[in-house]
Amino acid sequence: MNAIISATELASELAGGTPPVLLDVRWQQGGPSGPAEYATGHLPGAVYVDLDADLAGPAGSGGRHPLPDPEDFAAAMRAAGVSKDRAVVVYDGGQGWGAARAWWLLRWAGHEDVRALDGGLAAWRAAGGELTDEEPAPKPGDFTAAPGAVPVLTADEAAALARRGVLLDARAAERYRGEVEPIDPVAGHIPGARSAPTVENVASDGRFRSAAELAERFSALGAAPGAEVGVYCGSGVSAAHEVLALAVAGVPAALYVGSWSEWSGDASRPVATGPEAG
């Protein structure tokens, strides 16, 4: 099954007899309020999901966006109308990172039919899709969490993977090199990780590059089909978008959820700087 869906394909499915559940996951680090943006206009029938409250546990030693409690996550999804046998489409209003986090978590929790709207809200509007400010009252779903359907990495597992396989750092290249660190306590990267900024997976319109283009990009980084691949970022959000891009390219990948926010919070862990994997 495809991991993404186009705006025209989504419009067709929404007009069908069993439309997918729509989740609006607008979120941006330090950006505008997701609930406020949702209130001004969203896809008809879409339910807002709060990334910080519903798609992550409390920040702490496990990072800024650790895994949520499975039962809490499942309850939030049921309240949004998610059921195990009904398709789900997630979208956001900007980078695609919030939507990718929801896509990845639902897959991790065992939902088998989840796709992200390619290009998000902008692609929907460009295709002539309408928005509404009416907030739906979804019928509660029956989704239950079965964690572990897709692979995750601990800090130690990420370090080991960087040595024996391919660990991609999805943050901006200057953060990888250790030139700047606007959020976390230490600048640099996990030794052995390779720089692969998430922003390079999309075209100027916010849609993913073609599967062939993505496959070529990741192959050049060593992340080809058959390779053991993992991804991390600052807190496991933009890395989920990279895992999604890898899925489009046909390359399964594990996510280090704690990411740099967990790694850099432990002074005993090594840190590399500079443009090379180190």
Residues noted as catalytic: 233
How is the beta sheet containing 166-169 ordered, strand by strand? 152-153, 254-256, 229-232, 166-169, 194-195
The enclosing H or E element of 21 equals strand 21-24
Angle at 63 between CA 60 and CA 65, to 5 degrees: 100
Distance CA 141, CA 228 (A): 35
Distance CA 110, CA 146 (A): 5
Distance CA 24, CA 230 (A): 27
259, amino acid identity: S
Ramachandran quadrant class, 118 (left: phi over 0; alpha: psi -120 to 50; beta: rest):
beta
